[in-house]
Chain A
């Protein structure tokens, strides 16, 4: 059965810290790995990764995929209180399934 596992499940840091969130996957016919940030209700898209070893960056956030070891990491540098949220990773499969397989999420709390 396909699964996506995130770690840690929760994390508390102070402003300015750097955090690394982990996502491992076992997905048949894997195609892509996506990261979302969920603050209240609507998950907002962060990154989509399809190629191994190529880092994607957006401001203080960056992410990379390792298709050999079947994991991805999301890094946030110089954290701010506004980074407090649940971070979700999801795997997409090849083929016309339209389905993303989500992990359970990492709850990040950034304290002032």
Chain B
């Protein structure tokens, strides 16, 4: 069974540009979570999507947005990139029946803003 897959693995953008990160959950999982892991910091919750709807978001500016598609894959968009957006962005998924149980993480997208 394939795990959570994220693309691209690495992304380099210039300040002010937009970045789009993609995530495919484990087959059968309907919930997708996005986390930001900046250097030296713990994982910070960004967004939760379930059944195509945004269910919750963390303390991030509106420049961070996303969506979930009918096949439960998800996209994270970061607009007007700033240098401090450089981080590892991790996506995780869980199934509806175990929403509060363990979430399985992808390998992440390393975003570098120059």
Contact = CB atoms under 8 A, between A and B. Distances in A.
Quick one: which of A34, A42, A104 has the most chain B CB within 10 A? A42
Interface residues of A, number: 25
B103 to A, nearest CB: 7
Given A97-B48, A98-B99, A99-B58, A105 B42 contact: yes
Classify chain B's interface size.
20 to 34
A90 B110 CA distance: 22
A92 B100 contact: yes
Contact of A31 (B55, B58, B100): B100
Interface in A44-69: 44-45, 48
Interface string B99-110: 111111111101
Interface of B: 3-4, 31, 33, 35, 41-45, 48, 50, 55-56, 58, 88, 90, 99-108, 110
Interface of A: 4, 31-32, 34, 36, 40-45, 48, 88, 90, 92, 96-105
Complex A-B, nearest 8 residue pairs according to Cβ-Cβ distance, in ascending order:
A98-B48, A102-B43, A102-B42, A45-B102, A104-B42, A41-B108, A99-B45, A42-B105
16 contacts: A4-B42, A34-B102, A41-B90, A41-B108, A42-B3, A42-B90, A42-B105, A45-B102, A48-B102, A98-B55, A99-B45, A102-B35, A102-B42, A102-B44, A103-B42, A105-B42
